[in-house]
A and B are shown apart, each in its own frame.
Chain A
Amino acid sequence: MDEVPRESPPIAFGERSRVVEGFRAYGLIVAMWLRSTMAYRASFVMTTFGNFAATAFDFVAIMLMFSHVDSLGGYSLPEIALLYGVSGTAFGLSDLVLGSMDRLGRRVRDGTLDTLLVRPVPVLAQVAADRFALRRLGRVTQGLLVLGYALVSLDIAWTPLKVLMLPLMVLSGAAVFGAVFVAGAAFQFFAQDASEVQNSFTYGGTTLLQYPPSIFAKDLVRGVTFVVPLAFVSWLPALYVLGRDYPLDLPQWVAFLPPVVAALCWVPAGLAWRAGLRAYRSTGN
């Protein structure tokens, strides 16, 4: 009785079970890397601090700028800190969950991607969880600290909507950056050693969002609103919280779009990933 061979799930089961399976696999691989990380605690503490310090330097540079001026592009330091905190935390979360994706190009080059393909687990989950680096919490912590500083020092007339906006924009922002990570990884199926292009959209994107839109050229703002919709990560929702005018004369309700935009971003990202995986030809041995 107990020797009945288990069947593999029928295909009609379809997408949902693959998604669940993907999350489960992601969790298992992450747990494995966590155990191995915790084997060298001192090293973990050092690298987490390093991650924290590396990102903190950006904000130190902004504070040094404000030792010479009272406002930048018409924005005060606490206002910029809010933009910085939201974008930094959103990007940090996304980097924590999916930051390993930029190793895909190397895997394609050295052929180790093949190992992942033969396992009965979604490749995306394996690539994303590969070498999961908890030290990236350093970046999240730094973003949260700056966000905390902004919230303490800003004088905002809080409404329930504005309060709700804070977790909403951080999580939606993380999802938007996540889509960029996946799309960037998909690009590496075709251009194997071009992971830096991904960096310009992820690291470059978060750097851009740390400053107010008023200092950038209109065309650049249009690009990050309508083409790669990073403006929905922090600018538009945060300007709503700050009660500031939006760039490009956008209507007020766009501040509430981040979850929709995030969901929409995952469609092309997912399609790109599939196309990349399908086009993949092993380098062979």
Chain B
Amino acid sequence: MRLYAVVAAGGFRRHATYRMATAAGVFTNTVFGFIMAYTYTALWDERPQLGGYDTAQALTYVWLGQALLMTCAMMGGGFEDELMERIRTGDIAVDLYRPADLQLWWLAGDLGRAAFHLLGRGIIPMALGAFAFDLALPGSAWTWLAFLVSVALGVVVSFAVRYVVALSAFWLMDGAGAMQITWLAGLFFSGMLLPLNLFPGALGEVARALPWSSLLQVPADVLLGKHEGWGLVRAYAFQAGWAVALLLAGRLLQGVATRRVVVQGG
């Protein structure tokens, strides 16, 4: 357990060294936050209460999206490139000899990365957004705590998806195409482009049931107070269910892949 805590701290520190990149990222998130906030305002001016949100809640959703974009790696940008590169070059064989679990090792590092991005790229755009627009931020510390738990679960789901896709490099050699499809799906089905409540009919139902809704839609609804009491438990169960299922899938795939490495003589 101590080992993984150290790895997580390493992931945090590693991303904390890119100060200029973080500042540039904050700038970008803020610019996009402003553009989207104006388009959402125009949309909610036409249809107040669209998707069950009032304008302040819709604007809060926009800024949450910007704050969580890197935290939940909705467009990639985590460990996956490095893992795929290690698989491609064969360095993965060294990792498999380490007295640590491969999946937990990468998960710990990614949790550290996510924690840094939540602080480094989440707080400032959110604060600027709250300064410029009327947001519906909760006053209760419990709601914020419930939100953070939901974000943490979202990060694990995001990790689990990217881990499975990165392992595909064992078979595909070049996993870039698979990764591109993954981040496209992540962008669209997380609710980053438009809240999933606004997706019509069956598309909406499917989108809300897919794992990616754990990355933004669910945490946002927790913060906006849409899930309370048993509803909150159900939301957590949804996220945790996907997290467990996808982590197990990754573990299974890892087992098959490592046997393959041994057969090939790594």
Residues of A within 8 A of B (CB): 43, 46-47, 50, 53-54, 57-58, 60-61, 64-65, 67-73, 191-197, 199-200, 204, 207-208, 211, 214-217, 220
Indicate if the CB atoms of A72 and B21 lie closer than 8 Å: no
Q: Given A47-B176, A208-B35, does the pair A196, B25 have CB atoms closer than 8 Å?
A: yes
Chain B residues near A58 (CB, 8 Å)? 193
Closest B residue to A208 using CB positions: B35
Closest 8 CB pairs of A and B: A194-B24, A215-B42, A196-B24, A200-B31, A61-B193, A69-B46, A193-B21, A200-B28
Main SS class of interface, B: helix
Chain A residues near B194 (CB, 8 Å)? 61, 64-65
Q: Closest CB-CB distance, B218 to chain A, in whole Å?
A: 19
Partner of A216, one of B20, B25, B38: B38
A32 to B94 CA separation, bound complex (whole angstroms):
36
Partner of B21, one of A53, A61, A194: A194
Indicate if the CB atoms of B42 and A57 lie closer than 8 Å: no
Q: Given A61-B194, A68-B198, A196-B21, does the pair A46, B39 have CB atoms closer than 8 Å?
A: no
Main SS class of interface, A: helix
Partner of B200, one of A50, A57, A64, A194: A64
Q: Closest CB-CB distance, B94 to chain A, in whole Å?
A: 24
Q: Which of B24, B176, B187, B200 has the most CB of A within 10 A?
A: B24
Q: Closest CB-CB distance, A36 to chain B, in whole Å?
A: 14
Chain B residues near A53 (CB, 8 Å)? 184
> Which residues B196-213 have CB closer than 8 A to chain A?
198-200
Q: Closest CB-CB distance, B59 to chain A, in whole Å?
A: 13
Chain A residues near B20 (CB, 8 Å)? 191-194
A214 to B258 CA separation, bound complex (whole angstroms):
57
Partner of A50, one of B23, B180, B188: B180
- B177 contacts partner chain A, Cβ-Cβ < 8 Å: yes
Q: Closest CB-CB distance, B58 to chain A, in whole Å?
A: 12
A166 to B41 CA separation, bound complex (whole angstroms):
30
Q: Closest CB-CB distance, A195 to chain B, in whole Å?
A: 7
Closest B residue to A198 using CB positions: B24
A50 to B177 CA separation, bound complex (whole angstroms):
8
